[in-house]
Structure 1
Amino acid sequence: MKKIGFLSFGHWAPSLQSQTRSAGDALLQSIDLSVAAEELGVDGAYFRVHHFARQLASPFPLLAAIGAKTQNIEIGTAVIDMRYENAFYMAEDAGAADLISNGRLQLGLSRGSPEQVIDGWRYFGYQPEEGTTDADMGRQHAEAFLGLLKGEGFAEPNPRPMFPNPPGLLRLEPHSEGLRKRIWWGAGSNSTAIWAAKLGMNLQSSTLKNDESGEPFHIQQAAQIRAYRQAWKEAGHNWTPRVSVSRSIFALMNDRDRAYFGNAGRDGDSIGHIDENTRAIFGRSYAAEPEALVKELAQDEAIKEADTLLLTVPNQLGVDYNTHVLEAILKHVAPALGWR
């Protein structure tokens, strides 16, 4: 059995070919798709965060709105670039969104990836400490955020406050109990997956990772997941973590599906560079008739290892079409693979 969610980047473009032509369209359609996905029985609605782009950026208003309009579906991110984040504001926003959703928030974080502008985090007021990198800064922000989610008091109270204080040092409010165990780390390498395990974060692994062995993508990703689970065991945490992988998967049910994605599954993995120093491997897409799709997906070692699968959706094709994409996977693919 697997949890199955969707992952949207929230693209929008003012063109006739797009069903999502403005930032308002992207936000409102994200809410509508989450409601429709819950009705289908999808387990999670996840969103990617990108700054300086025609994509979803500030996640917490959206997550809170989805939480208020749904009852059961998990709501989350995959991922928030922590180089840009103030851990204190983020802890308050996350606590509020989690309380609104009654404990359904699943927050994926990462140290960040190449963005639309050069060193975009500096416009947000952040600069790596001397001798450290922006990736180090992102991990430092994440560790500070994790510390705040414990809910422990740290701030000295005013002896003459405007409102009465509880005894002792004060924590940030609102605090949502249990959110700390629902924080995920988007790891691009085996070493950062191990680091996430040591800190007690769930693991998110996307459709790209550092090419560390030259093997096919799904083999490398499965090895990453096993290394993470071993590190978790060695860390001695007293609860069971979750692991998600994301994939582009399309069941070709009709002529429209074939027109959009008929060629999408023919290419294999590809090699590129995240930056000048990091060689990356990008996983293939899957697109085929349901019976063929089942056979192909059964060979994906990383999907076998994960307990959660996030399906990337082409959000600019509109809510109705993306609902159809999700329904086709749930009805015609997931049962045959034992996911449902």
Structure 2
Amino acid sequence: MKKIGFLSFGHWSPAAHSQTRSAGDALLQSIDLAVAAEELGADGAYFRVHHFARQLASPFPLLAAVGAKTSRIEVGTGVIDMRYENPLYMAEDAGAADLIAGGRLQLGVSRGSPEQVIEGWRHFGYAPADGESDADMGRRHAEVFLNVLNGEGFAEPNPRPMFPNPPGLLRIEPHSAGLRSRIWWGSASNDTAVWAAKQGMNLQSSTLKKDESGEPFHVQQARQIRLYRDAWKDAGHARTPRVSVSRSIFALVDDRDRAYFGRGDGDDQVGVIDNMRAIFGRSYAAEPDKLVEELKADEAIAEADTLLLTVPNQLGVAYNAHVIEVILEQVAPALGWR
């Protein structure tokens, strides 16, 4: 059994072919797709965060709105770039959104991806400390965020406050109990996956990974997941961690599907990104019976408990709901995921 959700980058473009022509379209259609996915029986609605781009950015208004409009589906990110975040203010936003959603928030955070602008985090007021890289800064922000989510008081109260304080040191409010266990780290390497396990975070692994062995993407990703689980066990955490992988998967069942995705699903690709040799996982596009056989061979999907389907959001809510529905009804049961 697997949890199956969708992951949207929330692109918008005024181009003639786009059904998502503005930022407002991207936000409102994201809410509509989450509602539709819940009605179809999907388990999660996840959203990517990119700054300085015509994509979804500030996540918490969207997460709160999705949480208010749905009742069951998980609401999450994949991922928030921690280089841009004030960890304490983020803890307030996250606590509020999680309370609105009734404890369904699943926050994926990370160092982030290559940017639209040069050192964009500096425009947000953040800079690495002496001797730090920007990746180090992102992990430091994440550690502060995790500590704050524990809900322990750390701030000395004003002896003459505007409103009465509870006794002792004060914590960030609102606090949502349990959110700390629903934070995920988006990892592109084996080392950062092990680090995430030590920190007690769940693991998100997407369709891009540092090429560490030259093997097929899914083989390297499966090894990363096993290393993560070994490190989790060694750290002695009490709970069982969760692991998600992302995939572009399209079942070709009608002329629209074949027109959009019927030209072949390709192979893994290798390139250089942020001075790192990276491997990009293949997409899957085939008739349902063939798709089932291809997905059976994906070792990383087999290792994960959660699968996030990346959706082409500019094709509109109705088409993306169709994509999700076909996977849930015609592919997942044949693989034993449902």
Paired residue type of 1:152: E
Paired residue type of 2:57: A
Partners of 2:172 and 2:81 in 1: CA distance: 22
- Deviation readout 1:116-174 (Å, 9 max, x if unpaired): 00000000001111111000000000000000000000001011111110000000100
Partners of 2:7 and 2:264 in 1: CA distance: 18
TM-score, normalised relative to structure 2: 1.00
Task: Could you tell me which runs of 5 or more consecutive residues in structure 2 were left unpaired when the two chains were aligned.
Answer: none
Paired residue type of 1:228: Y
Partners of 2:273 and 2:59 in 1: CA distance: 24
Paired residue type of 1:62: L
Partners of 2:220 and 2:311 in 1: CA distance: 24
Partners of 2:36 and 2:113 in 1: CA distance: 31
Partners of 1:234 and 1:64 in 2: CA distance: 36
Structure 2 partner of 1:326: 324
SS in 1 for 2:78: strand
- Deviation readout 1:277-314 (Å, 9 max, x if unpaired): x1000000000000000000000000000000000000
TM-score, normalised relative to structure 1: 0.99
Paired residue type of 1:134: D
> Map of 1:106-121 to 2, 5 A cutoff?
106-121=106-121
Paired residue type of 1:314: P
Q: CA deviation at 1:264?
A: 4.2
Paired residue type of 2:237: H
Q: CA deviation at 1:258?
A: 0.3
Q: How many percent of aligned residue pairs carry the same amino acid?
A: 80
- 2:265 aligned with 1:259: no
Change (3 A) 1:162 1:264: farther
Partners of 1:264 and 1:111 in 2: CA distance: 33
Structure 2 partner of 1:89: 89
Q: CA deviation at 1:115?
A: 0.6
2:302 to 283, 304, 311: 304
> Map of 1:168-247 to 2, 5 A cutoff?
168-247=168-247
SS in 2 for 1:6: strand
Paired residue type of 2:182: R
Cα RMSD, aligned residues only: 0.5
- Contact 1:50–1:56 (Cα < 8 Å) also in 2: yes
Q: CA deviation at 1:15?
A: 1.3
Partners of 2:263 and 2:133 in 1: CA distance: 40
Aligned length: 338
- 2:5 aligned with 1:5: yes
Runs of 4+ more than 6 Å apart: none
1:283 to 281, 293, 297: 281
Paired residue type of 1:315: N
Partners of 1:152 and 1:32 in 2: CA distance: 37
Structure 2 partner of 1:67: 67
Q: CA deviation at 1:263?
A: 1.7
- Contact 1:113–1:274 (Cα < 8 Å) also in 2: no
Paired residue type of 1:210: K
SS in 1 for 2:116: coil
SS in 1 for 2:168: coil
Paired residue type of 1:165: N
Change (3 A) 1:110 1:305: same
